[in-house]
Amino acid sequence: MKFCSQCGNAVSQRVPEGDNRERFVCDHCHTIHYQNPNIVAGCVPVWQGQVLLCRRAIEPRKGYWTLPAGFMENGETLEQAACRETDEEACARVTGLALYTLFDLPHINQVHVFFRAELADTDFAVGPESLEVQLFDESDIPWDELAFRTVGRTLECFFADRTGHHFPVRNEYLPPLLSTLPTPST
């Protein structure tokens, strides 16, 4: 950040009085610009035991498979964000949302939240951010082509929990990866 969104003057980084973290502060109007984590909300949409996945048409991780999810917008609830993203990416409607996984990703200033959900019907289609949309049995999940670790971890938990018919809410910290990820084969 270089300029104040309130008055347009230059900002500097410093610890404001009474605070304990470095922030962007406008030396002209004294506005403190707080930067907080972004929330990603999504669903594990299920139809008769199969999970709906989307192949991404956009970066990051274009060409990889993901659960329908994306950044929460102002003015919506977590459930509304998860439903909207499922509709946008897979043209799918979901019901019976139940909070399932929460991942803390402080190294990228994000929190990822996934709900378990039932597809309302099989009338789904490719949305503008997807190349393909498909239902997968557990044995057919493209594990090596999943876009994000939070998606892979959510699916691992889902299939493990499904065997016992018990789906606890899970909250996990995922540290940064030490290696780079391969590109998908198309």
Domains 1-35 and 38-173 share a fold: no
Superfamily of domain 38-173: Nucleoside Triphosphate Pyrophosphohydrolase (3.90.79.10)
SS3 118: strand
CA of residue 33 relative to chain centroid, distance: 24
**Residue 70 in this model has a pLDDT that exceeds 50:** yes
Whether the pLDDT of residue 29 is over 50: the answer is yes
- pLDDT at residue number 178: 78
Q: Residue range 19-32: average pLDDT?
A: 95
Q: Which two tokens stand for residue 125?
A: 């289609």
- pLDDT digits 0-9 by tens, 96-131: 999 999 999 999 999 999 999 999 999 999 999 999
Where residue 75 falls (left for φ over 0; alpha for ψ -120 to 50; beta otherwise) is left
Any idea where the domains of the chain sit in the sequence? Answer: 1-35, 38-173
Count of Cβ atoms closer than 10 Å to residue 163 Cβ: 8
Helices (H) and strands (E) in the chain, counts: 2, 11
Please tell me the distance from the alpha carbon of residue 15 to that of residue 32, in angstroms, as a whole number: 10
Q: Is the peptide bond before 60 cis (omega within 30 degrees of 0)?
A: yes
Per-residue pLDDT of 133-173, as tens digits, reads 999 999 999 999 999 999 999 999 999 999 999 999 999 99
- Does the pLDDT at position 55 exceed 90? yes
pTM of the model: 0.90
**Fold classification of 1-35 (topology level):** Ubiquitin Ligase Nedd4; Chain: W; (2.20.70)
Please say if the pLDDT value at position 182 is more than 80: no
